[in-house]
């Protein structure tokens, strides 16, 4: 069958896909590990013109399957998964069911039904996760429009949350490969095909953003310039940076050779963030001034300066020459831990 819309998405487990089809389920020619249905609460009557009715015509009795399901979560959230079908007239291995409340005739009752549908969709995909890790094949999932039959649930309401759950499920589940949205109704199919474009664009943007943030963290290397008398602050800062996924170089921990000066120069030329602790102690240190001078020469390649002011000591002319135009972070307001956490958030764009 030809899809109205199909999107391929990259995941940690390879490429997967979501497709929208306008098709009569009785003409299904693509094998499915699970065909999802929605039914009224404990009511599996195969009414004419419903998905349950179409399945019944093909010899699949949802009522019989409900009596002895493989996974039964009806007492918790009204969902269940059937045992494997045998002798079915359709290429379907199992039926998964979401049971919904009857049609609501008041606004407050309708809001409750809407929330129940959203909860059921989320719970349903987590049930499929349970099935996967239990060894049941969940590679190909068929999804109708929940409540789209006699429950009269508008597809415009269900499309976005359902597709969001589809993307999340495919991303986290290592076994699932494809989700097919299948409906006979033309308007429902068009709604889902349109929303799939929008959801895919939002998903891709989020993936790109996450990838950029992860790459930035992987590439980031912070050099900490400090006086040995402020080592307790430097150690604390180092631990927080590394816990946030940012690499840290600072002496003497990372001196790998006897050539101290050469190691310092190489590290500063490799860093992306130059963090210097400015205090009475560091302002009296020629080593810190030399490190600032080296880092200043790297500004043209994009090294970011982060001077952290630890006390009230005024800078001398040499330090002022390098740091007067840099954006300062004032660490004097206690507690110091909070100021360090704020710096980490800034560096990681959180």
- How far apart CA 109 and CA 265 sit, in angstroms, is 69
Decide if pLDDT at 101 tops 90.
no
What is the DSSP code string of 25-65? GGG--S-EEEEEEEEETTB----TTSHHHHHHHTT--HHHH
Residues 50, 114 within the same domain = yes
What's the total number of domains in the chain? 2
Residues 23, 163 within the same domain = yes
Residues 249, 264 within the same domain = yes
pLDDT at position 82 is: 96
Q: How confident is the model at residue 144 (pLDDT cuts 50, 70, 90)?
A: confident
**Shortest CA distance to 198 belongs to which of 250, 159, 227, 237?**
159
pLDDT at position 191 is: 87
- How far apart CA 164 and CA 192 sit, in angstroms, is 12
Q: How confident is the model at residue 147 (pLDDT cuts 50, 70, 90)?
A: low
Mean pLDDT of 92-98: 94
Residues 95, 194 within the same domain = yes
Residues 24, 161 within the same domain = yes
- Backbone φ and ψ for 247, nearest 5 degrees, come out as -70, 150
Q: How confident is the model at residue 112 (pLDDT cuts 50, 70, 90)?
A: low
Mean pLDDT (the chain, rounded): 85
Strand partners, 305: 274
pLDDT at position 206 is: 73
Residue at which a domain ends, from 147, 182, 215: 215
Q: How confident is the model at residue 226 (pLDDT cuts 50, 70, 90)?
A: very high
- Token readout for 301 is 């390649």
Q: How confident is the model at residue 109 (pLDDT cuts 50, 70, 90)?
A: low
CA 53 centroid distance within chain: 38
pLDDT at position 119 is: 82
Domain harbouring 235, CATH code = 3.40.50.10140
Q: How confident is the model at residue 71 (pLDDT cuts 50, 70, 90)?
A: very high
Specify the DSSP element, H or E, that contains 274.
Answer: strand 273-278
Q: How confident is the model at residue 104 (pLDDT cuts 50, 70, 90)?
A: very low
Residues 278, 237 within the same domain = yes
Mean pLDDT of 239-262: 83
**Shortest CA distance to 22 belongs to which of 151, 197, 181, 148?**
181
Residues 111, 237 within the same domain = no
Instruction: Decide the pairing of beta strands 79-81 and 247-249.
Output: unpaired
| pTM of structure | 0.59
Mean pLDDT of 240-259: 83
Instruction: Decide the pairing of beta strands 247-249 and 273-278.
Output: unpaired
Q: How confident is the model at residue 83 (pLDDT cuts 50, 70, 90)?
A: very high
Residues 170, 42 within the same domain = yes
Residues 226, 211 within the same domain = no
Residues 210, 226 within the same domain = no
Per-residue pLDDT tens over the stretch 170-217: 999 999 999 999 988 888 889 889 889 888 888 777 766 665 555 555
pLDDT at position 315 is: 83
Using omega within 30 degrees of 0 as the cis cutoff, is the peptide bond preceding 335 cis? Answer: yes
Residue with tokens 């190489």: 266
| Residue 157 vs residue 151, higher pLDDT | 157
pLDDT at position 282 is: 92
Residue at which a domain ends, from 189, 215, 241: 215
Mean pLDDT of 110-124: 76
**Three-class secondary structure of residue 265 per DSSP:** helix
Residues 187, 254 within the same domain = no
Q: How confident is the model at residue 117 (pLDDT cuts 50, 70, 90)?
A: confident
Per-residue pLDDT tens over the stretch 15-55: 999 999 999 888 888 899 999 988 888 888 888 878 888 89
CB contact set of 208 (below 8 Å; sequence gap of 6+): none
- How far apart CA 199 and CA 208 sit, in angstroms, is 14
| Residue 71 vs residue 346, higher pLDDT | 71
Using omega within 30 degrees of 0 as the cis cutoff, is the peptide bond preceding 252 cis? Answer: yes
Structural domain harbouring 255: 220-348
Mean pLDDT of 331-340: 83
Residues 71, 200 within the same domain = yes
- Structure letter (DSSP) for residue 98: E
Strand partners, 19: 6, 180
């Amino acid at each position: 069958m030809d899809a109205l819309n199909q999107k391929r998405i990259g995941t940690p487990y390879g490429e997967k896909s979501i497709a929208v089809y306008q098709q009569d389920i009785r003409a299904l020619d693509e094998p499915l590990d699970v065909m999802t249905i929605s039914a009224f609460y404990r009511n599996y009557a195969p009414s004419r013109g419903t998905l349950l009715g179409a399945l019944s015509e093909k010899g699949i009795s949802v009522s019989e399957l409900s009596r002895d399901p493989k996974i039964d979560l009806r007492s918790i959230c009204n969902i269940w998964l059937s045992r494997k079908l045998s002798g079915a007239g359709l290429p379907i291995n199992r039926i998964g069911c979401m049971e919904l409340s009857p049609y609501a005739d008041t606004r407050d009752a309708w809001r409750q039904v809407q929330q129940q549908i959203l909860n059921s969709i989320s719970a349903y995909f987590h049930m499929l996760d349970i099935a996967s890790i239990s060894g049941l094949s969940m590679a190909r999932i068929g999804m109708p429009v929940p409540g789209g039959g006699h429950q009269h649930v508008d597809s415009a309401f269900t499309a976005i949350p359902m597709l969001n759950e589809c993307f999340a499920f495919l991303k986290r589940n290592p076994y699932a490969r494809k989700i097919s949205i299948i409906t006979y109704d033309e308007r429902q199919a068009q709604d889902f095909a349109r929303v799939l474009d929008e959801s895919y664009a939002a998903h891709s943007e989020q993936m790109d953003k996450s990838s950029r943030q992860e790459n930035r963290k992987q590439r980031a290397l912070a050099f900490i310039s400090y006086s040995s008398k402020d080592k307790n602050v430097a150690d604390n800062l180092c631990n927080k940076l590394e816990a946030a996924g940012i690499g840290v170089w600072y002496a003497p921990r990372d001196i790998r050779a006897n050539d101290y000066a050469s190691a310092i120069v190489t590290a500063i030329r490799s860093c992306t963030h130059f963090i210097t602790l400015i205090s009475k102690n560091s302002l009296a240190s020629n080593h810190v001034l030399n490190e600032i001078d080296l880092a200043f020469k790297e500004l043209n390649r994009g090294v970011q300066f982060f001077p952290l002011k630890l006390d009230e000591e005024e800078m001398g002319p040499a330090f002022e020459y390098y740091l007067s135009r840099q954006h300062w972070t004032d660490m004097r307001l206690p507690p110091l831990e909070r100021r360090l956490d704020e710096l980490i958030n800034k560096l990681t764009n959180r």
